[in-house]
Amino acid sequence: MLRAQALSSRSSRPWARALVGVAILVVGACASHPSAPGWVTLLDGAKPNTLENWNRVGVDNWRLQDGAIVAASSPMPGSTFLVTKEAYGDFEIRAQVWVDPDTNSGIFLRCQHPEAISVNSCYEMNIWDTYKVQYYATGSIALFAKVDPVPKAGNKWSTFDITARGGHIRVSMDGRLTVELDDKTYASGPIALQWGGGGIVKWRKVDVRRLSP
| Predicted local distance difference test score (pLDDT) of residue 11 | 37
Cα gap 148→134, rounded to integer Å: 9
pLDDT confidence tier of residue 213, bands split at 50, 70 and 90: confident
Least confident of 4-13, 40-49, 160-169, 195-204: 4-13
| Predicted local distance difference test score (pLDDT) of residue 66 | 94
Give the residue-averaged pLDDT of 124-139: 98
Give the residue-averaged pLDDT of 59-64: 90
Q: Is the pLDDT of residue 24 over 90?
A: no
The single-letter code of the amino acid at 189 is G
Least confident of 56-65, 87-96, 116-125, 152-161: 56-65
Ramachandran category for residue 151: left, alpha or beta (phi over 0 → left; psi -120 to 50 → alpha) = beta
| Predicted local distance difference test score (pLDDT) of residue 75 | 77
| Predicted local distance difference test score (pLDDT) of residue 22 | 39
pLDDT confidence tier of residue 32, bands split at 50, 70 and 90: low
